[in-house]
């Protein structure tokens, strides 16, 4: 089940938990929880029939679920960041026993709606996940697709009596990413910028919006493709000043370059559109358009060589042969060399 299907079920009153909320789009996930919680609020009782548990054990969840609602047919129990679903980390001392007990208890009594709310990574191999998949509903909160994302941005701007020019609308998530919590903050800044009224322009977005590390790396590659060593190094050092680690920057470089190579090969195999590439690379259409345009600056053999250089830099760092900051800086210089002699 995705977020759209969940909101539809919520609106129609067709709630059939238990639910597991997962996915990286925290803003929409929190909205879903707030709307769900609103159903259990009462003018007289307040949130008496709503209970939130933070990283609880199995017995605490069961006790909360078995507690009878007060003057209502049902109560809401929200389980945040359950360790029995978490990816990695130290296992609980009696994890198997707790997971078995909770899996056997689910879906719980009709008098309680149980919602597991995971903010971090989760492990599909865990017994609790498999029990929730079988006896309940997994709700995936993924980043919004292009049209839904643009509609959300327009609606949020309208709430503030502002609008965005079409090119500004496309530019904002390109610079600041697709997470709604981040875009919400960027819109707050943009709506307060300048005169604080009228249409938000492309120039406004370029002047005010925060760049993600991923976009900055994309710009770095673009500058390097033009042979601008000084410019590429400035971008690299700006990323470092923003707190990005050299290995993190190297990882983003390699990921962007792999996307460019994939785009180059798909283009060589036949005419490829941005929507087709977006689907193949699991990226928004506007990012796919940008990737296709950038891929034209490179030969396929160049991209292969650059990726090989990334792998070699990673190996030198992790084997202790070279310091991480120096190794990535040398890679950026090599990437910017006009003859692309990277080995």
Give 264-322 as a DSSP string: HHHHHHS---HHHHHHHHT--HHHHHHHHHHHTTS-HHHHHHHHHHHHHHHHHHHTTSS
CA-to-CA distance for 246 and 331, rounded, in angstroms?
Answer: 11
pLDDT at 342: 37
Distance separating alpha carbons of residues 246 and 217, to the nearest angstrom? 12
Structure tokens, 68 = 């009878």
Answer positive or negative: Cα dihedral of 325, 246, 308, 272. negative
Residue 227's SS3 state is coil
Calpha distance 100→105 (Å, rounded): 9
What is the rounded CA–CA span in Å between residue 216 and residue 234?
Answer: 11
Q: Running along the chain, 343 residues long, what does each successive block of 10 average in pLDDT? A: 92 88 94 91 78 92 92 91 79 80 92 92 91 94 91 93 92 92 94 79 92 87 85 91 91 91 86 84 83 84 88 92 91 74 37
**Could you tell me the pTM of the whole model?**
0.78
């Amino acid at each position: 089940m995705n977020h759209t299907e969940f909101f539809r079920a919520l609106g129609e009153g067709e709630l059939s938990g238990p639910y597991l909320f997962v996915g990286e789009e925290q803003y929409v996930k929190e909205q879903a929880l707030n709307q769900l919680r609103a159903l259990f609020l009462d003018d007289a009782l307040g949130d008496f029939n709503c209970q939130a548990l933070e990283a609880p054990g199995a017995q605490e969840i069961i006790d909360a679920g078995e507690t009878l609602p007060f003057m209502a047919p049902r109560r809401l129990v929200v389980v945040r960041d359950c360790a029995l679903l978490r990816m990695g980390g130290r296992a609980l001392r009696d994890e198997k026993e707790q997971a078995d007990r909770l899996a056997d208890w689910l879906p719980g009594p009709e008098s309680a709606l149980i919602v597991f709310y995971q903010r971090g990574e989760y492990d599909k191999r865990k017994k609790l996940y498999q029990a929730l998949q079988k006896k309940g509903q997994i709700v995936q909160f993924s980043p919004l697709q292009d049209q839904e994302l643009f509609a959300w941005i327009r609606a949020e701007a309208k709430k503030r009596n502002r609008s965005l020019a079409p090119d500004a609308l496309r530019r904002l998530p390109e610079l600041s990413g697709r997470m709604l919590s981040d875009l919400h903050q960027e819109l707050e800044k943009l709506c307060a910028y300048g005169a604080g009224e009228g249409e938000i322009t492309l120039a406004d977005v370029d002047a005010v919006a925060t760049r993600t590390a991923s976009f900055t790396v994309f710009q770095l590659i673009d500058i390097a493709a033009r042979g601008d060593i000084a410019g590429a190094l400035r971008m690299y050092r700006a990323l470092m000043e923003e707190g990005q680690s050299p290995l993190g920057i190297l990882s983003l470089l390699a990921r962007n370059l792999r996307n460019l190579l994939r785009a180059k090969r798909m283009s060589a195999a036949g005419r490829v559109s941005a929507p087709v590439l977006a689907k193949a690379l699991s990226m928004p259409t506007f990012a796919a358009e940008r990737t296709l345009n950038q891929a034209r600056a490179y030969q396929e053999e160049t991209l292969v060589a650059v990726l090989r250089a990334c792998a070699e830099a990673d190996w030198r760092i992790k084997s202790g042969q070279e310091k991480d900051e120096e190794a990535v800086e040398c890679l950026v210089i090599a990437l910017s060399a006009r003859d692309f002699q990277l080995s």
